[in-house]
Structure 1
């Protein structure tokens, strides 16, 4: 056989293989693009769902009036009062005690 013919036969075979590979690659690319489009659509739907959920959570609902417990309020005031008494300086403490004692006696 002629070496030139062998080369052309090999070239034609490689050309055919390359064409098959190209057509397969094009088919894969088309499938990939379709999958991406489908993926984008599903992402869009997911984003819409998330947006709707956030919107529902942000909605304004009817409020409830908070009731203050009078006993709790009184206890809190008493605690604050005792803390204020503790903050009195030592040199004024005896005067303060005598004033409170006088107030208690007048109250009876």
Structure 2
């Protein structure tokens, strides 16, 4: 299988996982650059189409302190767009019992 099919299959599995979750508001955390703002906007548009409430924060960088603050918010589903792949360990430790989607140009994780 080529890398495009792998990517397509990976994205499809992430979409199916998201669709299987109980409906609840979504938290989007994205990078303060053109890619991050575009990614958050595209995701927001998709959530609007599905009538899913969401909140967006655009950050210059993600620190352990910022992650800790976000993890204490009352959301069950988080999307990190254009950031997060360099903070996997911290995210895994701080966001236990939450559904996390990391969509980053460096890597994507569900």
Structure with larger Rg: 1
More helix by share: 1
TM-score by length of 1: 0.21
Using structure 2 for the length normalisation, give the TM-score: 0.21
- The answer to which structure has the higher strand fraction is 2
